[in-house]
A and B are shown apart, each in its own frame.
Chain A
Amino acid sequence: MSTPGLRPATLFRLAWRESRTARRRLALYMSSIALGVAALVAIDSFAGNVTRSIREQSRALLGGDLQLGARGEMPTVVDTLLDSLATTGVRHARVTSFASMALAERSGNTRLVQVRAVGDGYPFYGTIETQPANQWASAHGDAPVVYVDPSLLVALDAQVGDSLRLGRQMFTIAAALGNVPGDAGITAVIGPRVFVSERWLSAMGLLQFGARAEYEAVLKLTAGNDGTREAADLQRFLRRRIDPRYVDRTDAEAEERDRAAGALGGGERLDDTTAVADTAAQPVAARVRVRTVADTEQDFTEAVAQLADFLSVIGLIALLLGGIGVASGVHAFVVSKIDTVAVLRCLGASSRQVLTLYVLQAGAMGLVGAAAGTLLGVGIQFVLPGAVADVLPLEVAPTLEARAIGTGLAIGVWVALVFALRPLLALRRVSPLQALRRATDEAAVPREWTDPWRLAVDILLVGSIVGLTIARTGSVREGLGVTVAISVAVGVLWVAATLLIRVARRSVRAGWPFALRQGVANLYRPANQTRAVTLALGFGAFLLSTVYLVQSNLLRRFDIAEQASAGNLLFFDVQDDQIDALTSLVTDGGYTVVERTPIVTMRIASVNGVSAQRLMNDTTGNRPRWVFRREYRSSYRDSMSPSEVLVSGTWTADSAARERRRGPNGPYEVSLEEDVANDLMVAIGDTITWDVQGVRVATVLTSTRKVNFARFETNFFAVFAPEALRRAPQQFVLIANVPDPSALARLQRDAVRAYPNVSSLDLSLIRNTIGAIIERVTLAVRFLGVFCLAIGIPVLFSAVAATRRARLREGVLLRTLGASRALVRRVLFAEYAALGVLGAFTGMGLAFGGAWALMHWVFKDTFVPAWGAAAGIIAAMVTLTAGIGLLTSRDVHRETPMAALRDS
């Protein structure tokens, strides 16, 4: 035995030649992984493109180097600080955003819009594009002009040059808005934007008592001092000056740098005794957020990374499912090569040479499959920016991401090889004796459970799955969780298939029709494919059904149409001295006022005698800080609303009974929404003191409610007994029922003319808008579902092809013995239908479990089974399985029995 053995070049040549008739089949099996690779490459590449665009455009996203923002008027210390900074060369521009009614004078149409009143200089980075071009230059001139979203022109039936009223001020529409830095186009779906100079704020007269507005100040640092570190230093400085309670871990270091000359530019620096926020004031003031470009970058890239991680888990699962397809297909391939391998062994090939030969073939085809997937992924990556353009607040220029491509390709080839290796190992055990005396396929490749190589490959397989999921999710815990979930699903499907085999064996009756008997017998006969098909089909059904079930549950929350309140016109920001007149305006027209709800703004001063400050600073309490910071918009009434359900305590509608219980100086009764009560960690009988525009109102918690916020009724976290707030400063919300659309538009116009500060909403319009948004979400979710189904098809083909030879042989024999084509088809149909039913039902069962878990643990809602969708998916799966089975077996009918016998 002194011969050198098969040379590498010869091995490659032999592998290439020997693969001649198998390439197409192997490529089909490997296409199982193509979709998974495509998903990974597309997601990673797009995420890379977006991250790069974020870095390049982050300043434009923020509009400056720093941004201060608050949901209410900023404390005066901010003004002082900004003025001081201005003396050092740091420019700033204010942006005030709020909702208001816009009235087109010519057409008389009205629409609720988002007004953005901006200061001179905004945006400091990027430019606001207009149509006609270059019109933004006149924004801060003496002429009152506005710049509006193109959709608003359509909605108001207006055009550039028309007059538009906002509050008490008339404007001319100077241009339509094009690209606005930092704004995603999709916000126009919620409410069209109107940009105006801040010099017209007081003229508009819209920011009255109780009006909700977002206040921002954008800063531009001086040249040379606008780096990341300088911005971070200024951020820390501002935070400490605005809220001295702010604690920075690197405080000492920051102090040192603050005192260094030139940190703020211009040689002049802010004195540490500069006006400080009033710390003695209670309750907690509106929080001022201070953000830098780095924060914006980080937030965006984190959000992109999280979304990419989530989607890539789907892609990874698709890839692993594809691996199952590869394993099934390669198993079929191995069976078809038994004769060739036996001959090679007779001619002197070692088991290692044989294995290498076919691993090379599998590897090459895996590369083909992965390459095809990579190309597809790159194609999708180039299409994505256009598809999601109006959802992203920045422009994404698609470029090839070498890392994403390389990673996708490598993972694809690896998965294909690892899954192919398992069935290929069996070739080592093909005896050369098979060339003399051919045993059945199963006997020719016997399974040896204690084969160390097989165990090693199994460990490699499991290890690869765990490693890939951990790498994708970025977390060991989550990666292991996903792996365990996949393993449980595979285990359940395996057990289900085994049970079916046993049940089938016991249930076959001699009295059954031949086709049924034969089809069911095929489920448990020696070369059955029950497990492989159940696994492939069941997993695909599991993924697809989980997506659909979760989607239908989530969409149920927004089922607005069925929950429509009686009213269809909503007025809000109605002042105390306007409500009666507005009510008359509605009723004089012959329309019904459905609801007239007072709204009182307040904050929490103390709970059970402990101040909100202390509770917020108490880190052991686990209470979220926002419950103490936020401004509550509460109401008062005697009775509960239809969207509320009492969870604990009692609701007393009778005011006399309430007064008796309260006594002369006792606390008023208040009801909280259950989640807010949990966050505040209060129970029935606890006392809460509220700061209502400077007046303390003591209350006792008498009930908690579950509120359906998705309904179109006014809903509140806190509802008081009327006697508590009847005399408090308040505004109103009024809901009217105006059936006629043109009358509704007229009423809106009349209200805007009479009360410019009052905003109104046509609820049917809102329903349509939200419906449009939900439609997009639904499309995205349904795309995921279709993707899952698309993965399943090549995998199913591979699984079914695994025993194609046995199918052919049997079918041909039946025909030789006198069976008609129709009978053979019925036999096949019986078998595949049974497999389809088993796989679909088991997958659906798993999906119910998975969807329940997701709804319960992630979305914190109850799971409602969607029986209709489930039945539809099961029917589709059974049809698909039967169809694919019959398709792959059509060769039975192609040739004459003689020819087929000769070939087989």
Chain B
Amino acid sequence: MLVARGLSKDYASGDRPLTVLHEVSFEIPRGAYVSIVGPSGSGKTTLLGLLAGLDTPSRGSVLLDGTDFSALGEDQRAALRGEKVGFVFQSFQLIPTLTALENVQVPLELRGDTSPSDAAARARDLLDRVGLHGRSHHFPTQLSGGEQQRVALARAFVNAPRILFADEPTGNLDGSTGARIVELIEELNRERGTTVVLVTHDASLAERTQRTLRLRDGYVIEDTVRVPTAAGSIPTSLPSASA
């Protein structure tokens, strides 16, 4: 599903480049539930950005469903994201001027292959699924943090993505609300077979995933595969990550 080969990322810092990610390589199969953890400054958000095609690697490549992300132009990557990728952000990133329903519809409208009525119907279904029946006409400022994140989840799944990237999805939420969000992610992951890649600094959340890639100073220092949980089984043979 997702293959990273020799991924590196440099940033300009004064006269010398600063490398924040060093030759990271791994593969994530379809349907997997993976977490990326590490302390602040370890490069996990940078890695997420590269994997999701939001950024261009300095060296190496990312293949999503067989397509080399890094070889595409920005607009081509955007189109690919619209087709195959879902996002959940720490700060929810809902468009403040759109209602909950309209926010969820945006990915379908951008693709343009669904009629407005069908798009609205699908969005409504997803909002019901995440427990926001009756809130579809509310604006983000009228929703609590947890409700906003549920809208974001519905938006992430509306275009039936192959892979979902979640950046600290519970970072701005209290314990119980965050737990509910995680449950929803896992349910949707099971129902739809979506691959989930989740960046978190929350060890307990990482424990719930099937595999954890641990980063430090831009290197993958640990790649832990866990015993299959109620989330479902995972392939047992995985290439070990380079340190």
Q: Interface of A with B (CB < 8 Å)?
A: 1, 3-7, 10, 13-14, 17-22, 339-340, 342-353, 431-433, 435-437
Which of B48, B89, B109 makes the CB contact (< 8 A) with A10? Answer: B109
Given the complex of chains A and B, what is the CA–CA distance between A437 and B75 in angstroms? 20
> Chain B contacts of A431 at CB under 8 A?
54-55
Asked if A432 and B78 make an inter-chain contact with CB atoms under 8 angstroms apart, the answer reads yes
> Chain B contacts of A344 at CB under 8 A?
95, 106, 110
Asked if A346 and B81 make an inter-chain contact with CB atoms under 8 angstroms apart, the answer reads yes
Given the known A-B contacts A346-B87, A348-B79, A432-B78, are A10 and B93 also in contact in the complex, defined by CB atoms under 8 Å?
Answer: no
B225 at the interface (CB under 8 A from A): no
10 interchain pairs (CB within 8 A)? A1-B76, A6-B110, A20-B98, A340-B97, A342-B93, A431-B54, A432-B54, A432-B81, A433-B49, A436-B54
Given the complex of chains A and B, what is the CA–CA distance between A5 and B87 in angstroms? 19
Given the known A-B contacts A19-B97, A22-B97, are A350 and B54 also in contact in the complex, defined by CB atoms under 8 Å?
Answer: no
Given the complex of chains A and B, what is the CA–CA distance between A22 and B97 in angstroms? 9
Asked if B82 and A349 make an inter-chain contact with CB atoms under 8 angstroms apart, the answer reads yes
Given the known A-B contacts A3-B82, A349-B82, A350-B79, are A436 and B89 also in contact in the complex, defined by CB atoms under 8 Å?
Answer: yes
> Chain B contacts of A349 at CB under 8 A?
78, 82, 110
Which of A17, A22, A347, A351 makes the CB contact (< 8 A) with B75? Answer: A351
Asked if B110 and A436 make an inter-chain contact with CB atoms under 8 angstroms apart, the answer reads no
B174 at the interface (CB under 8 A from A): no
Given the complex of chains A and B, what is the CA–CA distance between A349 and B80 in angstroms? 10
Given the complex of chains A and B, what is the CA–CA distance between A6 and B81 in angstroms? 14
> Chain B contacts of A4 at CB under 8 A?
111-113
Asked if A343 and B109 make an inter-chain contact with CB atoms under 8 angstroms apart, the answer reads no
Given the complex of chains A and B, what is the CA–CA distance between A6 and B106 in angstroms? 10
Q: Mark B76-102, 1 if CB is under 8 A from A, else 0.
A: 101111110001010001111110001
Asked if A353 and B48 make an inter-chain contact with CB atoms under 8 angstroms apart, the answer reads no
> Chain A contacts of B19 at CB under 8 A?
none
B223 at the interface (CB under 8 A from A): no
> Chain B contacts of A348 at CB under 8 A?
78-83, 107, 110-111, 159
B147 at the interface (CB under 8 A from A): no
B167 at the interface (CB under 8 A from A): yes
> Chain A contacts of B110 at CB under 8 A?
5-6, 344, 347-349, 353
**Residue of A4, A348, A349 contacting most chain B CB atoms (<10 Å):** A348
> Chain B contacts of A342 at CB under 8 A?
93
B10 at the interface (CB under 8 A from A): no
- Using C-beta atoms within 8 Å of the partner chain, give the interface range for chain B: 35 or more
Which of B81, B96, B167 makes the CB contact (< 8 A) with A347? Answer: B81
B74 at the interface (CB under 8 A from A): yes
Is chain B's interface secondary structure helix, strand, loop, or mixed overall? helix
Given the complex of chains A and B, what is the CA–CA distance between A19 and B96 in angstroms? 10
Residue of B nearest to A4 (CB): B112
B79 → A minimal CB distance (Å): 5
B131 at the interface (CB under 8 A from A): no
Residue of B nearest to A349 (CB): B110
Asked if A347 and B107 make an inter-chain contact with CB atoms under 8 angstroms apart, the answer reads yes
> Chain A contacts of B52 at CB under 8 A?
346
Q: Which of B144-165 contact A (CB under 8 A)?
A: 155, 159
Asked if B55 and A347 make an inter-chain contact with CB atoms under 8 angstroms apart, the answer reads no
10 new A-B contacts at CB < 8 Å, known A5-B110, A6-B110? A17-B97, A344-B106, A346-B93, A347-B110, A347-B155, A348-B111, A348-B159, A349-B78, A352-B75, A437-B45
B228 at the interface (CB under 8 A from A): no
Given the complex of chains A and B, what is the CA–CA distance between A339 and B109 in angstroms? 19
Residue of B nearest to A1 (CB): B79
Given the complex of chains A and B, what is the CA–CA distance between A62 and B48 in angstroms? 85
Given the known A-B contacts A6-B109, A10-B112, are A18 and B95 also in contact in the complex, defined by CB atoms under 8 Å?
Answer: yes
Q: Which of B10-55 contact A (CB under 8 A)?
A: 45, 48-49, 52, 54-55
Given the complex of chains A and B, what is the CA–CA distance between A900 and B5 in angstroms? 44
Asked if A343 and B95 make an inter-chain contact with CB atoms under 8 angstroms apart, the answer reads yes
Given the known A-B contacts A17-B97, A22-B97, A340-B95, are A1 and B80 also in contact in the complex, defined by CB atoms under 8 Å?
Answer: yes
Residue of A nearest to B80 (CB): A1
Q: Mark B96-134, 1 if CB is under 8 A from A, else 0.
A: 111000100011011111001000000000000000000
Asked if B112 and A436 make an inter-chain contact with CB atoms under 8 angstroms apart, the answer reads no
> Chain A contacts of B49 at CB under 8 A?
433, 436-437
> Chain B contacts of A436 at CB under 8 A?
45, 48-49, 54, 89, 167
Given the known A-B contacts A343-B93, A348-B78, A433-B49, are A1 and B83 also in contact in the complex, defined by CB atoms under 8 Å?
Answer: yes
B113 → A minimal CB distance (Å): 5
> Chain B contacts of A432 at CB under 8 A?
54, 78, 81
> Chain A contacts of B116 at CB under 8 A?
10, 13
A6 → B minimal CB distance (Å): 5
> Chain B contacts of A6 at CB under 8 A?
109-110, 112
Residue of A nearest to B92 (CB): A343
> Chain A contacts of B106 at CB under 8 A?
14, 344, 347
Given the known A-B contacts A1-B80, A349-B82, A436-B89, are A340 and B96 also in contact in the complex, defined by CB atoms under 8 Å?
Answer: yes
> Chain B contacts of A22 at CB under 8 A?
97
Residue of A nearest to B72 (CB): A1
Given the known A-B contacts A3-B82, A344-B110, A348-B82, are A17 and B89 also in contact in the complex, defined by CB atoms under 8 Å?
Answer: no
B155 → A minimal CB distance (Å): 8
Asked if A433 and B55 make an inter-chain contact with CB atoms under 8 angstroms apart, the answer reads yes
Given the complex of chains A and B, what is the CA–CA distance between A886 and B76 in angstroms? 45
> Chain A contacts of B159 at CB under 8 A?
348
> Chain B contacts of A435 at CB under 8 A?
54, 87, 89, 93
Given the complex of chains A and B, what is the CA–CA distance between A22 and B52 in angstroms? 30
Asked if A18 and B45 make an inter-chain contact with CB atoms under 8 angstroms apart, the answer reads no
Asked if B79 and A3 make an inter-chain contact with CB atoms under 8 angstroms apart, the answer reads yes
B218 → A minimal CB distance (Å): 15
Given the known A-B contacts A432-B78, A436-B167, A437-B45, are A5 and B96 also in contact in the complex, defined by CB atoms under 8 Å?
Answer: no
Given the known A-B contacts A347-B87, A435-B89, are A3 and B97 also in contact in the complex, defined by CB atoms under 8 Å?
Answer: no
Given the complex of chains A and B, what is the CA–CA distance between A432 and B76 in angstroms? 13
> Which 3 pairs from chain A and chain B are nearest by CB?
A348-B82, A350-B75, A3-B111
B105 → A minimal CB distance (Å): 9
B240 → A minimal CB distance (Å): 27
> Chain B contacts of A20 at CB under 8 A?
97-98
Given the complex of chains A and B, what is the CA–CA distance between A21 and B49 in angstroms? 30
Residue of A nearest to B50 (CB): A433
> Chain A contacts of B55 at CB under 8 A?
431, 433
Asked if A17 and B78 make an inter-chain contact with CB atoms under 8 angstroms apart, the answer reads no
> Chain B contacts of A21 at CB under 8 A?
96-97
Asked if B112 and A346 make an inter-chain contact with CB atoms under 8 angstroms apart, the answer reads no
B143 → A minimal CB distance (Å): 14
Asked if B98 and A17 make an inter-chain contact with CB atoms under 8 angstroms apart, the answer reads yes
> Chain B contacts of A19 at CB under 8 A?
97
> Chain A contacts of B76 at CB under 8 A?
1
B124 → A minimal CB distance (Å): 16
B14 → A minimal CB distance (Å): 16
Residue of B nearest to A350 (CB): B75
Given the complex of chains A and B, what is the CA–CA distance between A348 and B87 in angstroms? 11
Given the complex of chains A and B, what is the CA–CA distance between A20 and B93 in angstroms? 17
Given the complex of chains A and B, what is the CA–CA distance between A19 and B98 in angstroms? 9
Given the complex of chains A and B, what is the CA–CA distance between A642 and B78 in angstroms? 84
> Chain A contacts of B155 at CB under 8 A?
347
> Chain B contacts of A10 at CB under 8 A?
109, 112, 116
Given the complex of chains A and B, what is the CA–CA distance between A13 and B102 in angstroms? 11
Given the complex of chains A and B, what is the CA–CA distance between A351 and B73 in angstroms? 11
Residue of B nearest to A345 (CB): B78
Which of A339, A350, A433 makes the CB contact (< 8 A) with B93? Answer: A339
Asked if B112 and A433 make an inter-chain contact with CB atoms under 8 angstroms apart, the answer reads no
> Chain B contacts of A351 at CB under 8 A?
74-75, 78
A3 → B minimal CB distance (Å): 4
Asked if A18 and B97 make an inter-chain contact with CB atoms under 8 angstroms apart, the answer reads yes
> Chain B contacts of A1 at CB under 8 A?
76, 79-80, 83
> Chain B contacts of A13 at CB under 8 A?
109, 116
Given the complex of chains A and B, what is the CA–CA distance between A18 and B97 in angstroms? 5
> Chain B contacts of A437 at CB under 8 A?
45, 49
> Chain A contacts of B87 at CB under 8 A?
346-347, 435
> Chain A contacts of B112 at CB under 8 A?
3-7, 10
